[in-house]
Amino acid sequence: MLQIGIIGLPCVVMGLAFLYAIQGAYHSHRPTRPLFLYPLICSFVLTSGFMIWGYQAICTSRSSTAAIGSLFLPFEAIVVAVAGVVISWSVLYVAHCVIQRINGIRVGLTSVVCLTLAIALLALTGYVVQNKVARRRLLSEAATGTDVVSLEGILASSIVSHDNEVLSKLAKNPNTPITYLVRLYDFCKPNVGKSNPSEYPIFHALAHNPRTPPEILSVLAGCQDSSTKLAVVTNPSTPTRTLRQLAEGQDEFVRGYAKRELRSRERKGNSLGH
Residue 64 has pLDDT above 90, yes or no: no
Mean pLDDT of 46-55: 88
Name residue 209's amino acid. Answer: N
Report if residue 165 sits inside a domain.
Answer: no
Mean pLDDT of 19-35: 81
Name residue 194's amino acid. Answer: K
pLDDT digits (tens, 9 = 90+) for 126-172: 999 999 999 999 999 999 999 999 999 999 999 999 999 999 999 99
Same domain for 41 and 104?
yes
Structure confidence at residue 62 (pLDDT): 67
Structure confidence at residue 139 (pLDDT): 94
Structure confidence at residue 273 (pLDDT): 52
Same domain for 192 and 78?
no
Considering the entire predicted model, what is its pTM? Answer: 0.73
Report if residue 91 sits inside a domain.
Answer: yes
Q: How many structural domains are present in the chain?
A: 2
Q: Which domain holds residue 115?
A: 2-144
Residue where a domain terminates, one of 117, 144, 171: 144
Q: How many CB atoms lie within 10 A of CB 76?
A: 14
Residue 65 has pLDDT above 70, yes or no: no
Structure confidence at residue 32 (pLDDT): 74
Report if residue 174 sits inside a domain.
Answer: no
For 104-125, letters b (16+ CB in 10 Å) and e give: eeeeeeeeeebbeebeebbeee
Whose CA is closest to 188, among 152, 154, 213, 163? 163
Structure confidence at residue 274 (pLDDT): 44
How far is it, in rounded angstroms, from Cα 246 to Cα 249? 5
- Exposed / middle / buried, residue 231 (Cβ in 10 Å: 0-12, 13-18, 19+): buried
State the pLDDT confidence band at 66, using cuts at 50, 70 and 90.
low
Report DSSP letters for 48-82, one per residue: HHHHHHHHHHHHH---TTGGGHHHHHHHHHHHHHH
Sign of torsion over alpha carbons 157, 159, 165, 169: positive
Same domain for 227 and 139?
no
Structure confidence at residue 5 (pLDDT): 55
Whose CA is closest to 180, among 138, 223, 218, 211? 211
Same domain for 114 and 196?
no
Residue 269 has pLDDT above 50, yes or no: yes
Residue where a domain terminates, one of 112, 128, 144: 144
Same domain for 29 and 84?
yes
How far is it, in rounded angstroms, from Cα 137 to Cα 139? 5
Structure confidence at residue 10 (pLDDT): 74
Name residue 12's amino acid. Answer: V
Same domain for 80 and 208?
no
Sign of torsion over alpha carbons 209, 214, 216, 221: positive
pLDDT digits (tens, 9 = 90+) for 75-92: 888 999 999 999 999 999
Report if residue 173 sits inside a domain.
Answer: no
Report if residue 51 sits inside a domain.
Answer: yes
Same domain for 210 and 137?
no
Structure confidence at residue 166 (pLDDT): 95
Residue where a domain terminates, one of 114, 144, 174: 144
Q: Which distant-in-sequence residues (6+ apart) come within 8 Å of 96 by Cβ? A: 34, 35
pLDDT digits (tens, 9 = 90+) for 107-129: 788 888 988 999 999 999 999 99
How far is it, in rounded angstroms, from Cα 258 to Cα 112? 70
Report DSSP letters for 205-245, one per residue: HHHH-TTS-HHHHHHHTT-S-HHHHHHHHH-TTS-HHHHHH
Same domain for 190 and 139?
no
Residue 195 has pLDDT above 80, yes or no: no
pLDDT digits (tens, 9 = 90+) for 215-251: 999 999 988 888 899 999 999 999 999 999 999 888 8
Same domain for 134 and 192?
no
For 139-174, letters b (16+ CB in 10 Å) and e give: bebbbebeeeeebbebbeebbeeebbebbbbbbbbe
Structure confidence at residue 196 (pLDDT): 78
